């Protein structure tokens, strides 16, 4: 069952990237992240009360709460980096780097959680790593054509790698944090941390006044992306609770397929032959983990 939840997470995550890209075109990325998190918070706590897991809130241990908070902080940092990268770079450029967190997550799962790295997993890591390189290498060469000339043309790369690093930490910390708690409740608690962090950044950068300038279309897509994120999170942490992090995370990263497909149809972003080959390797490496 955890495999189905992992694939559900991938589908919703793919929708999140496209909806967010459209929603932040005319909105500060930090403010957009904070607004989206409000929607995710509402959605996650709604699910908590639907399944009745709020009754277990008083039983949450200090250790579980600590790791949920740390996971929430890592998630917030990953989001802030990811959506900033999306704002100044193409979806097809940012997504492969963000998904490269798969390899780092498997390494961290081996080091910190004691999850075994088999020959099959090692081969999958190589495929995913090479595939990511092929996609990013070509993208980097064409960056000035799509994001402008100067420092900002490669700044998306820094933010994208930051998103990947924090996403890896999120998975590991989240895996430990939800071991002794119902997954929906764990997700809801983490979301509170993300919300606080996101709004702290907004007020620190004095972007809160820009709320009044957000147009109707941006509001709609930001809200929709928030619901997509909530759906992805609920599936993801339900899968993490019963499945190995070294397999759940790669399946979740298959959202790259949905993201690129959606970006082709809705954003008119296309892949080169080399990028397509890279995508095939990433998918092949990910699917091999299910064998």
Find the angle CA(73)-CA(170)-CA(110) to the nearest 5 degrees: 140
pLDDT confidence bin for 269, thresholds 50/70/90: confident
Residue 88: what pLDDT? 85
Structural domain for 92, as ranges? 2-288
| pLDDT attached to residue 285 | 87
Q: What's the mean pLDDT in 20-25? A: 83
Q: Cβ(170)–Cβ(176) under 8 Å?
A: no
Mean pLDDT of 261-286: 85
Over the stretch 232-267, which tens digit does the pLDDT of each residue have?
A: 878 988 888 788 877 887 788 788 888 888 888 888
| CA–CA–CA angle 227, 230, 233 (5° rounding) | 150
**192 pLDDT more than 90:** yes
Evaluated on CA atoms 273, 260, 195, 51, the torsion sign reads negative
Do the beta carbons of residue 89 and residue 42 sit within 8 Å? no
Residue 197 pLDDT? 93
The whole-number pLDDT of residue 246 equals 72
Lowest mean pLDDT among 29-33, 102-106, 286-290: 286-290
Query: Is the model's pLDDT at 23 over the cut of 80?
Result: yes
């Amino acid at each position: 069952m955890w495999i189905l939840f992992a694939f559900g997470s991938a589908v919703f995550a793919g929708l999140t990237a496209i909806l967010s890209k459209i929603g932040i075109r005319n909105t500060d990325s930090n403010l957009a992240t904070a607004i989206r998190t409000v929607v995710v918070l509402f959605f996650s706590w709604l699910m908590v009360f639907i399944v009745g897991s709020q009754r277990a809130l008083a039983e949450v241990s200090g250790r579980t709460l600590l790791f949920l908070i740390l996971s929430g902080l890592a998630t917030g940092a990953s989001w802030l980096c990811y959506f900033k990268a999306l704002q100044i770079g193409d979806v097809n450029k940012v997504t492969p780097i963000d998904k490269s967190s798969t390899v780092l997550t498997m390494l961290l799962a081996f080091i910190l959680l004691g999850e075994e790295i088999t020959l099959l997993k090692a081969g999958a890591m190589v495929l995913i790593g090479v595939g990511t390189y092929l996609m990013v290498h070509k993208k980097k060469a064409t960056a000035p054509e799509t994001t402008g000339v100067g420092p900002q043309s490669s700044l998306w790369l820094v933010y994208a790698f930051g998103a990947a690093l924090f996403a890896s930490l999120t998975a590991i910390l989240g895996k430990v944090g939800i071991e002794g708690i119902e997954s929906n409740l764990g997700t809801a608690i983490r979301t509170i941390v993300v919300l606080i962090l996101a709004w702290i950044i907004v007020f620190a950068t004095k972007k809160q006044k820009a709320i009044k300038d957000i147009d109707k279309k941006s509001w709609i897509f930001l809200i929709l992306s928030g619901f997509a994120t909530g759906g992805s999170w609920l599936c993801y942490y339900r899968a993490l609770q019963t499945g190995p992090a070294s397999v759940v995370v790669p399946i979740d990263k298959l959202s790259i397929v949905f993201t690129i497909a959606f970006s082709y149809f809705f954003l008119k972003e296309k892949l080169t032959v080399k990028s397509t080959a890279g995508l095939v390797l990433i998918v092949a490496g990910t699917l091999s983990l299910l064998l």
